Amino acid sequence: MSLLSLRDLRVSFGRGGRETAAVAGIGFDLEPGRCVALVGESGSGKSVTARSLLGLHGPGARVEAGRLDVAGQDARRYSDRQWRPVRGTEIGYILQDALVSLDPLRTIGQELGEAVTATTGLRGPAVRERALELLARARMPEPERRLDEYPAQLSGGLRQRALIASALAGDPGVLIADEPTTALDVSVQKEILELFGELKDTGLGLLLISHDLAVVARLADEILVLRGGEVVESGPAADVLGSPQHAYTRTLLDAVPRFDPAAGGRPVARPRAATGDRTGGDTEAPAHVNGAPGTARGNVGEALPGDDAAGIDRQAGSAGVLAAQVASGPGHGEAPRPDGATERPLLSVEGIEKRFGARPVLRGVGLQLYPGRTLGLVGESGSGKTTLSRIIAGYERPDAGSIRWHGADGSGRADGPGGARSTGGARGTSKVGGSAAPDWQRRGVQFVYQDPLSSFDPRFTIGRTLGEALSLVHGRRPRRERKAEITSWLERVGLDGGLAGRRALTLSGGQRQRVAIARALALQPRLLILDEPVSALDVSVQRQILELLDELQAETGVAYLFVSHDLGVVQRMSDDIAVLRDGELREYGPAGQVLARPADAYTRTLIDAVPRLP
């Protein structure tokens, strides 16, 4: 008998003529000890399906199904009262965000105790005993101690274990996990996935929901690929992953940056022509890809009419020279040269130390950035990678160490502690009255945030946002020229010029990130710092953004510092890789060498933890 049997589930929102279908005909059977995975991008209906299985369809929903059997009982006509015992005792549900799903004011013991009492009716000391059992089942280290701790005292992985324990409180036959590892570091993700594997082996039926095929690959017996509420492909995991029949499944699989340590660094030789393959999962406005790098540069030149400022000419020229250097220079697999023997670095960072209060965040970190090359900065949360990139951007000052800029003039100006650009300054960041950043840092280094929306003034339209950056380069200019240039920048990052009048709030995540990239590059920086630029995006959009970054780098010769926790993406983008852990540089070298022959044990752990497609 199936634990769960679902046929032709349909969920729609709204009524009358405005009805939109969120789920259109999903069905599967879940047997004990098996795992079914629902995979899809945002808006595919995967979470709505999960909630419908618990009778938790939200307000305004219309739910229909050909069959919905829970533990052999037809649940289609259940009232809310009848659903209640199903939740927790038949089906355990693990919510999407482990980091915020626990009440911060209650201990783990209280949280679990509530779940135990609600599902089993136990009271008194028996509750605590049961809670301990559950924590042990969720493989929580030191369960006794955790019972009296608050969520804030636990790491993300431990909080996820606590949530899993509470979902197991009523001893359900089915566990639904909605994006259970999305917010977690890779090494923690691996542990949680292993825990799910163990639970599955004890006979639990697992319904796993994820946007990431690689995460699902380890556990799933059956995979349903969803798009727009419909099943585009389903079947045994090995078939779906091994020989996908549907184009969309292939797009999803291709879009996942294949992490393969043996393959070495950045797979594509540059400068390279833009790929024409933009069909399939392109959920955004069609991207106009500039042609070969040379023509693209020509376009930009035309788009900058009043471009007579000597500095810009010089910069554009030197960028060209540098790009040529990179192209004809040493191969990409070669070691970065701290002494700058063959290629002079753009910027070198030496011995950076930083502490927040008593806690050291960075301990003597040093690395180099080269024009036209990408340095991937990898680390888990708390490793100091964001702090380091903020120091390089001038948002924060190091306590010790230096950042040396070898600009186009090659003067090698040094900046020790103290050269932070003044931000409005929250606690711990640079001082309000701090001295202005040196010119190279102010213009030469730009920053792209993980959440582009928060980096735009909410009152501004896209056009005004870009126009502000452009006016810094060109000063005040006639309206028409400015408008033309805004349009040309939007088109350059693959957006329609008509978006200029819109606010960022109305754009998709991928479009917002394109605007952020356009704004940063409009200032013609020599170094672009990308802080998790694609972490919040769907895989197919992620891929488009990465391609765009490739193209723009080939055109402009800008250096990237690519900060990410995702080794697959880092491998896709990086010439060199630096691995940070607890503020220490554990490994630093050419991407190929770091990934294929890691010298440090921690790097190996990281590489092993990456979920991989078979």
Partner 1 sequence: MSAATTLIGETRGPARRRTGVIGAGAITERIILVACLGLLGLFAVFALWPSLLTWQDPFAADRSLILAPPSLTHPLGTDEIGRDVYTRIVYGTRSTLALGVGAVLISLTLGTVAGLLAGLAPRWVSMIVMRGNDIGAAFPELLLAILIIALFGGGPVNAAIAIGIAGIPYYVRVIRAETLKIRRATFIEAAHGLGLSRTTVLVRHLAPNALRPVVVIATLGLGGATLAGAGLSFLGLGTAPPAPEWGSMLSNARSFLGLGWWAAVFPGLALTLFVASTTIVGRRIQKSLEGRR
Chain contacts with partner 1 (rule: CB under 8 A): 7-8, 10, 13-16, 18, 52, 55, 57-68, 76-78, 393-395, 421-426, 429, 432-433, 442-443, 446-447, 449, 451, 454-459, 468-469, 472, 505, 519, 523
Residue 465 CB, shortest distance to partner 1, in Å, is 9
Say if CB 377 and CB 561 are below 8 A apart.
yes
Nearer to partner 1, 440 or 588 (CB): 440
Pairing of strands 222-227, 205-210: unpaired
> What sign results for the dihedral spanned by CA atoms 178, 182, 187, 190?
positive
402-415 burial, b at 16+ Cβ within 10 Å, e below that, comes to bbbbbbbeeeeeeb
In the numeric block, the tokens 């992620």 are attached to: 542
176, 209 Cβ separation under 8 angstroms: yes
Our CA dihedral for 461, 466, 472, 478, rounded to 10 degrees, sits at: -80
Least distance between partner 1 and beta carbon 161 (Å): 31
CB of 452 to partner 1, least distance (A): 9
d(CA 266, CA 197): 33
Cβ nearer to partner 1, comparing 443 with 604: 443
CB 471, min distance to partner 1, A: 10
| Closest distance of CB 386 from partner 1, Å | 12
Torsion of CA 502, 505, 507, 510, to 10 degrees: 140
Nearer to partner 1, 129 or 457 (CB): 457
Task: Please enumerate in sequence order all residues whose Cβ is within 8 A of that of 568, keeping only pairs 6 or more positions apart, or say none.
Answer: 214, 256, 257, 258, 259, 610
Q: What amino acid occupies position 374?
A: T
Within 507-575, strands assigned E span 527-531, 559-564
Q: What does 578-598 look like in DSSP terms, one character per residue?
A: EEEETTEEEEEEEHHHHHHS-
Q: Which C-beta is closer to partner 1: that of 11 or that of 304?
A: 11
Smallest distance from partner 1 to CB 275, Å: 30
Cβ of residue 484: shortest distance to partner 1, in angstroms? 21
Neighbours of 49 (CB within 10 A): 27
Q: Judged by CB, which is closer to partner 1: 12, or 593?
A: 12
Residue 72 neighbours by CB distance under 10 Å: 9
CB of 509 to partner 1, least distance (A): 15
What's the min distance (Å) between Cβ of 503 and partner 1?
10
Between 79 and 202, whose beta carbon lies closer to partner 1? 79
Which residues, 6+ apart, have CB-to-CB distance to 363 below 8 Å?
Answer: 353, 582, 583, 584
Nearer to partner 1, 318 or 422 (CB): 422
Minimum CB–partner distance for residue 442 and partner 1 (Å):
4
Min CB(473)–partner 1 separation in Å: 9
The alpha-helical segments, DSSP class H, found in 202-309 are 213-217, 237-242, 247-255, 293-303
* Closest by Cα among 235, 173, 255 to 36: 235
Q: Tell me the residue type at 200.
A: K
Q: Of 27 and 366, which CB lies nearer to partner 1 in the complex structure?
A: 27
The two three-digit tokens of residue 74, written as one number: 């037809």
End-to-end, the C-alpha distance of the chain in Å comes to: 30
Smallest distance from partner 1 to CB 76, Å = 5
d(CA 216, CA 219): 6
Is the Cβ of residue 57 or residue 190 nearer to partner 1 in the bound state?
57
Choice between 25 and 366, CB closer to partner 1: 25
Evaluate whether 461 touches 502 at the Cβ level (below 8 Å): yes
- Closest CB 508 distance from partner 1, rounded Å: 17
d(CA 58, CA 47) in angstroms, rounded, equals 11
CA distance to 108, 116, 162, 191, 585, per residue, from 101 (Å):
12, 17, 10, 19, 33
Q: For residue 271, is the peptide bond before it cis, meaning its omega torsion is within 30 degrees of 0? A: yes
Provide CB contacts within 8 A for 375, sequence distance 6+: 336, 367, 368, 369, 559, 560, 561, 562, 574, 575, 576, 577, 578
When the beta carbons of 351 and 428 are compared against partner 1, the nearer one is: 428
Taking the mean position of all CA atoms in its chain, how far away is CA 174?
Answer: 29
**Of 66 and 317, which CB lies nearer to partner 1 in the complex structure?**
66
Q: How many CB atoms lie within 10 A of CB 327?
A: 14
Separation of alpha carbons 497 and 503, rounded Å = 13
Nearer of residues 15 and 480 to partner 1, judged by Cβ: 15
Least separation in angstroms between residue 449's CB and partner 1 is: 6
- Beta-bridged to residue 10, according to DSSP, are 24, 64
Shorter beta-carbon distance to partner 1: residue 303 or 453: 453
Q: How far is the CB of 529 from partner 1 (least distance, A)?
A: 9
Q: Which is nearer to partner 1, 265 or 394 (CB)?
A: 394
